[in-house]
Amino acid sequence: MVNQHLIDIKQKALKDFHAAKNSQELYQFKVQYLGKTGALTEAMKMMATLPKEEKPLFGKQVNEVKAELETAYTGVEATLQRAEIDAKMLNEKLDLTLSVNAHEMGHEHPIYKVTNEIFSIMARLGYSLRTGPLIEKDYYNFEALNIPPDHPARDMQDTFFVDETHVLRTHTSPIQIHSLENEKPPLRVIGTGPVFRVDSDISHLPNFHQIEGMCVDKKISMADLKGTISFFVREFFGPGLKTRFRPSFFPFTEPSAEVDCSCPICKSKGCSLCKQTGWIEIGGCGLINPKVFESAKVPYPEWQGFAFGFGVERMAIIKYGVDDIRHFPKNDVRFLKQFSQN
């Protein structure tokens, strides 16, 4: 015969287990009946009051009730937990159709895009890349390029002086001197990077980029220069734009010319960007002045050459029809994004 007290505990416990509203409440019931100070543990203490011969049976019955309650507990717990997870899943519904804020791919700044395009065109003509310091000795920026200290040509470029003998380079032409000093002709070099001038308006920046090209070989003429630049300009802009060579003056080239492209904004009709002329100047060029060869100790006329220097922003403006050069250094993504596909 099963002890009535144990039967009562079991029935009450089973009733409570099944009535539990959630797993937390169920656990409280488990503690209440099966815990260290729970009803069943207390019932065990009754054993001491029983006659000796009843003890083994009572012990066995307690263990059986305990096992039965534990099994019941595990079953109810599983049911409640499953229901809780289901409810949680319903509340925390994941909307997989929501578009994710994906990371956008970056791309080259238009100035580097243009620069790289120019390199690849010039590489096809055998030109290779050179660099030079941004802070130049006065000698490399001016003197070696036949611009002595009192030369009026220094007025052509308003210079940022670092100290008495150093300047922020005003053009990339010092790269010509570095190459002539360090390398043996024949040479076909192309250099690039920032240059600095005290200047700022719709078509000028104080910090802009230039491309410098130099070819040194035997018997170089204006025809080689014109042929190279015409090829380069046609490859870069496509056949739609017109170019012209205008006689000009640079102390480091003789003869010298300036290269203009037809204005893409107004289609040569005249606008504020081209200053109503219909043409935009992209840079200068000419045959290397013998004085430059002399400074760099390269024998002339055994070696001759031509050089050119173009404004990268100017070329980008013409190619993409940008109406203000000041867009380039601003780094406004709305502007920059327009160059991601081109």
**Site residues (vs ligand PHE, CB under 6 A):** 171, 173, 250, 253, 256, 283-286, 307-309
In the complex, least distance from residue 297 CB atom to ligand PHE, rounded to whole angstroms: 20
In the complex, least distance from residue 307 CB atom to ligand PHE, rounded to whole angstroms: 4
In the complex, least distance from residue 210 CB atom to ligand PHE, rounded to whole angstroms: 6
Considering the complex, state which of residue 185 and residue 283 has its C-beta at the smaller distance from ligand PHE.
283
What DSSP letter does each residue of 214-256 carry, written as one string?
EEEESS--HHHHHHHHHHHHHHHH-TTS-EEEEEEEETTEEEE
The total of other beta-carbon atoms located within 10 Å of residue 11's CB is 10
Q: Residue 281: which residues within 8 A CB-CB, separation 6 or more?
A: 258, 259, 260, 314
Cβ pair 311, 210 in contact under 8 A? yes
Give the nearest residue (CB) to ligand PHE. Answer: 309
* Separation of alpha carbons 259 and 232, rounded Å: 12
Considering the complex, state which of residue 72 and residue 121 has its C-beta at the smaller distance from ligand PHE.
121
Q: What is the largest CA-CA distance in the chain?
A: 131
User: Coil, strand or helix: which one is 53?
Assistant: helix
Considering the complex, state which of residue 32 and residue 243 has its C-beta at the smaller distance from ligand PHE.
243
Considering the complex, state which of residue 180 and residue 285 has its C-beta at the smaller distance from ligand PHE.
285
Considering the complex, state which of residue 228 and residue 253 has its C-beta at the smaller distance from ligand PHE.
253
Instruction: Output the six-digit token pair for 328.
Output: 């380039």
Considering the complex, state which of residue 110 and residue 305 has its C-beta at the smaller distance from ligand PHE.
305
The total of other beta-carbon atoms located within 10 Å of residue 237's CB is 18
* Separation of alpha carbons 287 and 340, rounded Å: 37
Considering the complex, state which of residue 110 and residue 213 has its C-beta at the smaller distance from ligand PHE.
213
In the complex, least distance from residue 338 CB atom to ligand PHE, rounded to whole angstroms: 28
- φ, ψ for residue 245, nearest 5 deg: -105, 130
In the complex, least distance from residue 296 CB atom to ligand PHE, rounded to whole angstroms: 14
Alpha-carbon radius of gyration of the chain: 43
Alpha helix positions (H), the chain: 4-19, 23-34, 39-45, 55-91, 110-123, 138-141, 174-182, 222-237, 290-295, 312-320, 327-330, 333-336
In the complex, least distance from residue 172 CB atom to ligand PHE, rounded to whole angstroms: 7
In the complex, least distance from residue 105 CB atom to ligand PHE, rounded to whole angstroms: 35
* Separation of alpha carbons 282 and 157, rounded Å: 16
Instruction: Output the six-digit token pair for 270.
Output: 């005249």
In the complex, least distance from residue 325 CB atom to ligand PHE, rounded to whole angstroms: 15
Considering the complex, state which of residue 115 and residue 173 has its C-beta at the smaller distance from ligand PHE.
173
